[in-house]
Amino acid sequence: MEKEKRSYLKLATFFWVCIIIPVSLFVLLMFSAANSWFGFEPLPVVDDLVNLKSNLATEVYTADGEVLGKYFYQNRVNVDYDAISPFMIEALVSTEDERYYNHSGIDLEGLARAIFYLGKKGGASTITQQLAKMLFSGVPKSALGRLGQKVQEWIISAQLERLYTKDEIVAMYLNRYDFVNNAVGIKSAAQVYFGIVPDRLKIEESAMLVGMLKNSSLFNPLRRPDTVKHRRNVVLGQMLKNEKISQQEFDSLRLLPLTISYSKVDYKDGIAPYFREVLRAELKNIFNEKDQDGLPVLRKPNGEAYDLYSDGLKIYTTLNYKMQEYAEYAVKEHLSYQLQDDFFRGLAKKKNNPFSSDLSSSEVERIMNAAIKRSERFLIMSGMQCANCGRRGKILTEGIVDGELMTVCNAEDCEHQTKRYGEEEIMKSFDVPVSMKVFSWRGDIDTMLSPRDSIRYYKSFLQAGLMSMEPQTGYIRTWVGGIDYDNFAYDHVRQGKRQVGSTFKPFIYATAIEAGFSPCYEVPNVPYIFKKGTFGLLKDWAPENSDGEYGYNVTLRYGLATSMNTITSWVMKQFGPEAAVKMAQDLGITSDLPPVPSLALGVSDVSVYEMVGAFGTFANKGVYTKPQFLARIENKEGEIIVEYIPESREVLSEENAYVMLKLMEGVTSYNYNNDLKKNTPGTGIRLRFSKSEERPYAGIPYPVAGKTGTTQNNSDGWFIGITPDLVTGVWVGAEDRSVRFDYTSLGQGANTALPMWGYFMNKVYADSTLQVSKGDFEKPETHISIELDCKKYGTPTDFGTGSRGGVDWAQ
């Protein structure tokens, strides 16, 4: 009896120890994991599983459907299952989860094998479990914590299998996986490593990406190509084993190299970098805008503001991808082909290279010190900018580390520390040569240079801004804000403003055309004096022509075409600076315009953005349409959040706008002078010359109205050209106005800016897919009452609408 009792106790003990207690502990573990007991991380609620959150990159599109760039915390854009190559799916299932389509999230057979062999013959983690694992933010520090997380993964896996189809789970898993090198998700990975979309992935490419799933940091194709190739072949072996490929395919595929076509993901890289930065700032302002109740004007259904970097928005812009490529080509081609070399040769002769010889040593020192204190090196060393993330402002604080004064970045994603220096020590460091890489049009140069000398070097480069706009809609088609974003990040389309010179003159002439003057109206070419005391002048002022020639009559058309200061001054004198300011403002100029006589010569600083918008009015039948680069914004589901409608207003009559176009066509053609009995070319005539080695940008035979501009001392060169459906403005100049050409023959807008317009438009005209008009400007349907053909008249006639008109020499 005693023996039987002992046997019973042993059996009961065995039962409790080996079955009841483990099962109870397992049940307790399950409940603890499910209910977040004993410090377990809370499980995602069902709603979170239905709407899995992830940092989705915002994509920017051009008007012709090309991806212009992305804004992101993680470079991730989700794709549907159908948009993924079937080879990718087959490689994934063959390698990661052979029984994927036969279990409900937990592979019991694999689990038993893993327990029995202690993981030596493979793990038991299914694709669903791996997706579930991605939902946890941290890694448990203890074995018990990891066991609890494993249980939580089982629970989540079961929920995922109940909520989603197998195909959806595969797509979610591949969309969330980080393939390193800023390639988060299968779409980014296909683009970054192979330059293609996911549905075009080949077998060997799919196998490489699936191989990375084991550990993308270890199997990084950029760092360990041989290791990755071996891992890829393991995946190919799994596909062979699961009969997804044949032995013959395996034998040939395993010998192939990785054939990576790596595309670095950097917000500064790619097309239209200046525009993308302007757009980023504009979008941040849009999403930060609040209504009267303090709520975001554009908000998600839950009332939260949209996050530009994580909500997967789609931004549709008005830019045209091909035109943008042509515009960037035009800027680079002209500057690198000849203009910058001409500029360097001229600067080399100056004692204060690159600054004008007119500047004193103290003035040069002041300019250089100001540039030094704006430099990234100075800002970092002085503690005003984080050396790691580039942030500035209150997020940076002082701290003492190991007895040294440090700048501490308090951003959660940075927390970088940099030694802080005093200003005297910093300024000394700018005179010590260091190894650096500097920009050149023929490729970056490795050199030894002091930071101070590198600033001088960079100041010797000509900068440029180019913008094109469709005048009927205001849609901006191109935006080139500078010559190289990495080295010169300042935008010269909208942010930068420079003196516009003679490109302002059409606004002055428009006041005369509005008053009924004909382009054929004749004015004596003599200096016109603005008397002391008028218009606030402290002394007499009489603008002179650049060529110093006077003494004959010219038409208004001739005066504008040849950019004669005397004729513009005469028009200004008739109507006054206030009328000129009002006309310019009506045409869309928002920069400060002082009502002074010198405005006739374009002394005010205005942006390319404003000037192109204003000139667009002439091509749009007198209707000003505000330049616009945003078309619409969609959320990640493709629903339109906001759509942008062009803003417009009538400024000129259709007839007067057409007259202005005809007047400005004189700039790019020959103009007959009755007094001189000869044709004189407009300042933009070189566009009409035949193409040659000297002028590869020329040879444009189609109707073009426009205006060149050159400012005092050749600091700025402009050209704005108008065609029936495209207005393009170009500015060229150095960062500092004291860095300039010595000779107008080189520094004038016809030599610096106009060729870029020619390069650009030649490309545009040659591309038939763009369908840019080569025809003439559309005439008003009504009769034109103003005479446009100045050759019809040999002598002055009475002033009046439709007449050639004239001014008595006595005036």
Span 394-424, pLDDT tens digits: 888 888 877 888 888 887 667 788 889 999 9
Residue 810 has pLDDT above 60, yes or no: no
Helix (H, G, I), strand (E, B) or coil at 546: coil
What is the structure's pLDDT at 102? 87
Higher pLDDT among residues 492 and 671, named by residue: 492
Return mean pLDDT, the chain: 88
Q: Strand locations in 35-145, DSSP E?
A: 58-61, 67-71
Cα 619–chain centre separation: 27
Residue 232 has pLDDT above 60, yes or no: yes
Residues 731/710, Cβ–Cβ less than 8 Å: no
Give tens-digit pLDDT for 722-753.
Answer: 999 999 999 999 999 999 999 999 999 999 99
User: Alpha carbon of 338 to those of 4, 275, 386, 633, 635: distances in Å?
Assistant: 107, 26, 39, 42, 46
Amino acid in position 433: P
Is the peptide bond prior to 296 cis by the omega test (within 30 degrees of 0)? no
What is the structure's pLDDT at 798? 35
The CB density around residue 357, as the number of other CB atoms within 10 Å, is: 11
What is the structure's pLDDT at 675? 86
Residues 498/729, Cβ–Cβ less than 8 Å: no
Residues 111/210, Cβ–Cβ less than 8 Å: no
CA end-to-end span of the chain:
142
Nearest to 428 by CA among 392, 384, 386, 377: 377
Q: Averaged over 801-806, what is the pLDDT? A: 40
Strands 58-61 and 314-317: parallel
Give tens-digit pLDDT for 24-81.
Answer: 555 555 555 555 555 556 665 545 555 555 678 899 999 999 999 988 877 788 889 9
User: Rounded to whole angstroms, how far apart are CA atoms 193 and 176?
Assistant: 17
Give tens-digit pLDDT for 275-318.
Answer: 999 999 999 999 999 998 888 999 998 889 999 988 999 999 99
pLDDT class of 161 with cuts at 50, 70, 90: confident
Nearest to 589 by CA among 655, 527, 651, 639: 651
Residues 730/464, Cβ–Cβ less than 8 Å: yes
What is the structure's pLDDT at 807? 43
pLDDT class of 803 with cuts at 50, 70, 90: very low
Q: Averaged over 614-637, what is the pLDDT? A: 97
User: Rounded to whole angstroms, how far apart are CA atoms 389 and 789?
Assistant: 63
What is the structure's pLDDT at 764? 98
What is the structure's pLDDT at 13? 65
Residue 3 has pLDDT above 70, yes or no: no
Contacts (Cβ under 8 Å, ≥6 apart) of 218:
224, 227
Q: Averaged over 546-570, what is the pLDDT? A: 95
Residues 545/580, Cβ–Cβ less than 8 Å: no
What is the structure's pLDDT at 748? 97
Residue 268 has pLDDT above 80, yes or no: no
What is the structure's pLDDT at 229? 95
Expressed in percent and rounded to 5, the helix, strand and coil fractions of the chain are 40, 15, 45
What is the structure's pLDDT at 386? 87
Residues 559/683, Cβ–Cβ less than 8 Å: no
Contacts (Cβ under 8 Å, ≥6 apart) of 796:
522, 553, 804, 805, 806
